[in-house]
Amino acid sequence: MKKMLASTVVLMSSLGLSTGAWAQGKEIRVLLANHPYGELLKTAIPEFEKQSGIKVNFESLQEGQLTTKLTTEFATKSSSVDVFMTRPLQEGKMFNKNGWYEPLKSYDFSDYPKPVMSVAAAGSTPYLVPLVTEWQVLYYRKDLLQAAGLAVPKTLVELEGAAKKLNTDGVAGFASRGKGAAAVTQLSSYIYGYGGLYLDKGVAVFDQPAAIDALRYYGKILGNYGPKGVTSMSWENIMPLFQAGKVAMWTDASVFYGQIVDPAKTQIPAANVGIADLPAGPKAQSPFLVTSWGIAVANQSKNKEAALKFLDWASSKELATKGMLASITMARSSVWKDPKVLEAVNPGLVATSIFAAKNGNAFDRPYMSAVGEARDQIGELIIESINTKGESANLAAMAKDKAARVNALLKDAGEYGQP
C-alpha cells in the first residue's frame, strides 16, 4: 500500500514536471482589457496560434479589475501572466517602479511619436508598447445648435453661452464628467486652457490661480447647465443620455465617437452628431492627447521568448490597421498616413486628432505612482465646485490642502520635484 502511494507520488510529480517543461515556450497567459482593441485581439488570437504554434490562454477584464488582478498577482510574486494590456498613465509609473515590466530593448519604436513614447519609457529604456491613443473633443448636436442659431463654440466663453441657450427642461445644455476622480481626466484640458497644470516638475500646482479659475468654470457650467446628478456621472452615465438625446453638448474622450453614431446604440441620427476641437481657454487651446492603452511583457514571465513574439504580433502594423478600420484610434503614426485607412475613418475624428497632435498635452491626470489617491483628492474639488456652481468660497483653501496632500504622496513615493 505504502509502495503504491510512493510510486503514485513519483509518477504524478514527474508528469507535472514534464508538462511544465513542455509548456515552456509553447503556452502563454495573456490578460486583456474589455476594450475594443482587446476584443479585436481576442478574435485574431487563433490566427497567431496557427502561425506561431504558441498556445495563448487569455482572460479579459474590465480596466479597474485588470489593475487589481495584475497588482495582486505581481505583488505576491505568484503571477503566471506573460503578456498584459496596461494603462501607462494610471499604473505605468507604479508598475515600473516595482519592476513588473520587462524592459523592451529590441523592439522597434520608430513608428511612435515622441509624446506617446514619453509615458512608455523610463529614461531611455521603454517598458511598454503604446497601443491606443485618445484626445479630448467636443461632441455636439448639429440640429439643436442650428435651431438655436448658434455656431460651434470655439472658446470656453462661447461654450458657456451656448450651454445656457441650449439648456431646457428636457435637454441639458452641456455635460462632462462630474464624478470626482473620474472627472479629473476631463478637467485637465480645461486647466491647460486656463494656463494651469496638475503637476509641474513633480510638484502639485493645481492650487494656483489658473487651475482654480478652470475649476470654477467647470463647476459653473456643469452646475448650471449640466444633467441632474452630474456629480455621480462618468462617461458611462453621460453617453446613454447623449444617445437618448438628453444632452446638447458633451466634452469627453474621442474614443466614444463610434458608439454615439452607431445607429444600433443611439436614438439620434448620426447626421445630427458633430465632433469638434475642444474650445480654447483664455490662455491656450490644448486638449489632452494620451496613450490610454499599451501592452507589456511581465518581468516575472517564464516564457519571455514566446511572450515577446506575442507582443510583436499584438502591436503590429497589420493589427493597428485593423484597429483603425474598427474606429479604434491607434498610436502608430504610419496607420494615420495610410490613405485606405483615412478613407474609412470619420473626417472629424481625423481633424481633431491632427489638432490635438499639434497642440495637445500628453497627460490627462497627475502623472505619478499614487495617481489613484491623487485623483480622489482633486475629485473632491471638482464636486465642491459643481455643487456650488463654481461659487464656493472654500475652493482655494480646499485646493491648498489637497495640493499639500498630493505633495505628501509625491514625497512618500520619492517623486517630489522630479520632472
Partner 1 sequence: MREPSFVERHLRVLFPLPAILFIALLMIFPILYTLALSFTSWNLTSGAPLRFVGLRNFEQVLTEPRFLDAVLRTFGFTIFAVLIEAVLGTAIALILNRAFIGKGLAKLLLLLPLVATPVAVGIVFNLFYDPTIGLANYVLSTFGLPQGLWVSDATSVIPSLIIVDVWQWTPMITLIVLAGLAGLSEEPFEAARVDGATQWQVLRHVTIPMVMPTILTAVILRLIDALKTFDIIFAMTGGGPGYASETLNIMGFKYSFEYFRMGQASVILIALFFFVLLCSLGIMKLRSSAEN
Q: Should residue 197 be labelled a site residue for partner 1 when binding is judged by CB under 8 A?
A: no
Residue 240 CB, shortest distance to partner 1, in Å, is 7
Per rule CB under 8 A, is residue 309 in the interface with partner 1? Answer: no
Query: Interaction with partner 1 in 60-79: which residues (CB under 8 A)?
Result: 64, 67-68, 71, 75
Should residue 383 be labelled a site residue for partner 1 when binding is judged by CB under 8 A? yes
Question: For residue 14, what is the enclosing H or E element?
Answer: helix 2-23
What does the per-residue mask of binding to partner 1 show for 202-241, with x meaning CB under 8 A? -------------------------xxxxxxx---x--xx
C-alpha 323/C-alpha 398 separation (Å) is: 43
Cα 337 to Cα 300: distance, rounded to the nearest angstrom:
37
Taking the complex as a whole, the smallest distance from the CB of residue 373 to partner 1 amounts, in Å, to: 4
Closest to 91 (Cα-Cα) out of 241, 291, 250: 291
Query: Other CB atoms closer than 10 Å to residue 413's CB: what's the count?
Result: 16
Q: Which is nearer to partner 1, 52 or 60 (CB)?
A: 60
Looking up cell 456629480 gives 231
Nearer to partner 1, 142 or 405 (CB): 405
Q: Exactly one of 44, 94, 203, 325 binds partner 1 (CB under 8 A); which one?
A: 94
CB of 276 to partner 1, least distance (A): 24
Residues 251, 278 contacting (CB under 8 angstroms): yes
CB of 170 to partner 1, least distance (A): 9
Q: Which is nearer to partner 1, 90 or 361 (CB)?
A: 90
Per CB under 8 A, does 296 bind partner 1?
Answer: no
Q: How far is the CB of 172 from partner 1 (least distance, A)?
A: 8
Instruction: Report d(CA 308, CA 297) in Å as an integer.
Output: 7
User: CA–CA separation, 97 vs 299, rounded Å?
Assistant: 12
Task: Return the number of the residue (47 or 412) whose C-beta is nearest partner 1.
Answer: 412
Residue that has been written with the C-alpha cell 474598427 in this structure:
326
| Contact between 92 and partner 1 per CB under 8 A | no
- Identify which of residues 19 and 394 has a Cβ nearer to partner 1 in the complex: 394
* Pair 37, 328: CB distance under 8 Å: yes
Give the relative orientation of helices 304-314 and 36-52 as an angle to the nearest 10 degrees. 120
Quote the CA–CA distance of 74 and 72 in Å, as a whole number: 6
If DSSP codes are grouped into helix, strand and coil, which group holds residue 124? Answer: coil
Binding residues for partner 1, per CB under 8 A?
A: 64, 67-68, 71, 75, 94, 97-98, 172, 179-180, 227-233, 237, 240-241, 244, 246, 369-370, 372-373, 376, 379-380, 383, 409, 412-414
